[in-house]
Amino acid sequence: MQNLDLFDTAFGTIPKKLVRRQDPDTSHAAANAVNTTKLEQMVYEAICKFPNGCISDQLLSIFDGYPYSSITARYRSLLDKGFIEDTGERKSGRSGRQQRVMKKSAIKNRPLN
């Protein structure tokens, strides 16, 4: 993966946003252990490799050694931060279900190092 010093403070989600107060202590421990900065950066860089957008199945094939939820959970924060966008287009995934097409946001068009 590329080094994204410009994004060092932009990527990552604080652990308390990953759990609810009433969740068990094991969920809170897991939220504190996950490196959301690294995962968000990895997912963002992968999405950038698809100028016309991609679906989850395409990203999951890149990260086949990672759990499904480690990758797909990053979409929301990247969308909220404006790094990626939902194109509004839908494509069929391997399961036959429709998946949203996501791509790098035109708004956050910052250069990669």
| Measured distance CA(4)–CA(87) in Å, rounded | 24
How remote is the C-alpha of 56 from its chain's centroid?
A: 10
Q: Report d(CA 11, CA 87) in Å as an integer.
A: 21
Residue 9's pLDDT band (boundaries 50, 70, 90)?
low
pLDDT at 19: 87
* CATH number for the domain that contains residue 72: 1.10.10
113, part of any domain: no
Domain count, the chain: 1
Q: Is residue 57 part of a domain?
A: yes
Strand partners, 54: 102
What pTM did the predictor assign?
Answer: 0.80
What pLDDT score was predicted for residue 2?
Answer: 44
Q: Which amino acid is located at 28 in the chain?
A: H
Q: What is the pLDDT of residue 108?
A: 59
pLDDT at 92 over 70: yes
Q: Which residues contact 97 (CB under 8 A, 6 or more apart)?
A: none
